[in-house]
Structure 1
Amino acid sequence: MDLQLTGTTALITGAASGIGRATAHALAAEGVRVALLDRDAVALAETARGCDDAVVRVVDVTDETQVALAVSTSVEELGGVDAVVCCAGISGPVGSTIEQISLHDWNAVFAVNVTGAFLVLAQVLPALRASPSASVVLLASDSAFVSSPGMAPYCASKAALVQLGRSLSVDLAGTDVRVNTVAPSIVDTPMSRGDLGEHAFVSPAFEVQTPEDVASHVLYLVSPRSRAINGTTILSDFGYSARSGFPA
């Protein structure tokens, strides 16, 4: 399928690794010129090597001043922006109950996962409105809908991100800007391996996606081919959340 993306532009946060890197490479392969944002300069440079003529900005998405500068200069260098993909995220404390989690750690998760997306979108929306067919994709998680023990901050932040996307799609109704989210289950990324341990991926007792699997969903939502899809979430969890716990 021709995704009709050749010659368009996109800005991607969290582009240094994992889903962000896979998305950047997939978009570049479709002829999209990309702006890559992340706080890891070394890994970001590695991502850029797989993208033609990429714009690279080292930025902390929780810092409003840094975000404003990175977005404005990226849009200027790209000559406009047609899509924004917010992949920047952290898991925060894993395996801790609410009473064991500090306010600092709780706030840190929301700062990256939710406020970071807010800051980027607030800065880039004027440029998106100027595009004839603009799309925003937020990377959430199936943890927005189901939960594992000891992951309250992460789950709450991803649920907030889903609702942020839905709310923004309503605010932008009648414009040419669409907003959707992708909510994958476990993806084989450095963050997941850090949380679960390398051993968990040797002979996993659960279904595992690749970053490239998730990037394919993002590409469809960014493409004009999905022009009727707005304000919704693609839940890619191998059907897990649809299953009943009834022992029959």
Structure 2
Amino acid sequence: MVRSTAPGRRDDRPPPRSGVQAQGSSARRQEPRHLRPAVCALRRTGPHRFDGHTDGVGPLTDLRLHDARVIVSGGASGIGLACARAMLDQGARVGVISRSEAAIQSALSRALTGHDGQVFTAVADVRDETAVAGAVGDLAHQLGGLDHVVASAGVEGEMGAPLEEVTSQGFRDTLDANVLGTFLLVKHATPHLKQGSAASVTIIGSDSGFVAAPGMLAYNASKGAIVQLTRALSFELYEDFGIRVNSVCPSITDTPMARRGMGVESFDDVPFPVNTPEDIAWSVLFLSSPLSRAINGVSLLSDFGYSSRSSFPA
């Protein structure tokens, strides 16, 4: 089912300081005058939050995505929704795939409003090849072709379950959604991408493809597979067709799925940095842009450098 709608930094280090001014027995940090507004904004949003405010970026936001034709799976919630909105803000036309009609309606009435004739939607479960093929074909027709794909649909699986309690069905369901679903989307998008302009695929992976944590067996396995799938697709699709394939691999991102999987209502006071969906959307825009034409086969970590840390207790 496809239709057109007619609606509608976080930085975990403090800003650099210019010096220290002694006052009595204590010292007070003095930020340069030109940094003080940014410091105030950081204090308002907290050390581990980014409010998504990007006003004033100016010409740097011209990523040559105006009039691009984009399909985003999982585009009605979380990271996928942020990517769809970011593409629309760049002037792209966007086809959103979601397995939930209710989620689509919610997105259209809120985050995706104000983009007359730019948004098209389809209901499909990415694990169902017939449904995916139909949704991609219909959206590509509505969009007038296809230039970029963002594969964001996924599930968290049996989060928190130890090995002995992980069910074979739950393990299989996680791989079907996260790996098979990505494969099917790219498979059926490729004939359209071959005719596209500066075509690209960006997959939403996870730092869980590089590091592991207890209680995430199926999720870890699925995101590890995404890292290698990104490499394999980038080689197969670029040599003959010029289609670039990359992935963005964030650490914990404040989405409904992450809150559900972690069993929390908010990440406001957690003792570790948390991505916003907009953080990841900016990386997706960068990788999708024709200006990134030399970047292919990359799994870009967005984890505040945590995977680079040594276990040595220095």
| TM-score, normalised relative to structure 2 | 0.77
**What is the SS of the residue equivalent to 1:205?**
coil
Q: Is the 8 A contact 2:251 2:275 kept in 1?
A: yes
Q: What do the CA deviations read for 1:116-159 (whole angstroms, capped 9, x no partner)? A: 01111111101101113101000000000001101010011001
1:13 equivalent among 73, 79, 88: 73
Further displaced range: 122-131 or 41-50: 41-50
2:196 equivalent among 116, 127, 131: 131
Superposition RMSD in Å:
1.1
Task: Report whether the alignment pairs 1:47 with 2:47.
Answer: no
**What is the SS of the residue equivalent to 2:218?**
helix
Q: Is the 8 A contact 2:159 2:262 kept in 1?
A: no
Further displaced range: 133-142 or 164-173: 164-173
The residue identity in structure 1 corresponding to 2:76 is A
1:95-114 mapped onto 2 (5 Å cutoff): 95-114=160-179
1:233 positional shift: 1.0
1:200 positional shift: 5.8
Further displaced range: 182-191 or 39-48: 39-48
1:238 matched to which residue of 2? 304
Q: Which has the higher helix share?
A: 1
Task: Report whether the alignment pairs 1:198 with 2:264.
Answer: yes
Q: Percent identity?
A: 45
Q: Is the 8 A contact 1:7 1:33 kept in 2?
A: yes
Q: Is the 8 A contact 1:91 1:109 kept in 2?
A: yes
1:170 positional shift: 0.7
The residue identity in structure 2 corresponding to 1:185 is S
Return the index of the structure with the highest Cα Rg. 2
Measure the CA separation in 2 of the matches of 1:110 and 1:84.
20
**What is the SS of the residue equivalent to 1:121?**
helix
Structure 1, unmatched stretches of 5+, are none
2:293 equivalent among 224, 227, 238: 227
Measure the CA separation in 2 of the matches of 1:46 and 1:30.
22
Q: What do the CA deviations read for 1:177-207 (whole angstroms, capped 9, x no partner)? A: 1000000001000011111122561311110
Measure the CA separation in 2 of the matches of 1:157 and 1:142.
11
Q: What do the CA deviations read for 1:46-75 (whole angstroms, capped 9, x no partner)? A: 323415221110111101111111111111
1:140 matched to which residue of 2? 205
| TM-score, normalised relative to structure 1 | 0.97
The residue identity in structure 2 corresponding to 1:18 is G
1:79 matched to which residue of 2? 144
Task: Report whether the alignment pairs 1:211 with 2:271.
Answer: no
1:171-190 mapped onto 2 (5 Å cutoff): 171-174=236-239, 175-190=241-256
Further displaced range: 40-49 or 179-188: 40-49
Which of structure 1's runs of 4+ aligned residues deviate more than 4 A? Answer: none
Further displaced range: 3-12 or 167-176: 167-176
Q: Is the 8 A contact 1:25 1:47 kept in 2?
A: no
**What is the SS of the residue equivalent to 2:72?**
strand
2:220 equivalent among 155, 159, 167: 155
Q: Is the 8 A contact 1:18 1:211 kept in 2?
A: yes
Structure 2, unmatched stretches of 5+, are 1-59
**What is the SS of the residue equivalent to 1:66?**
helix
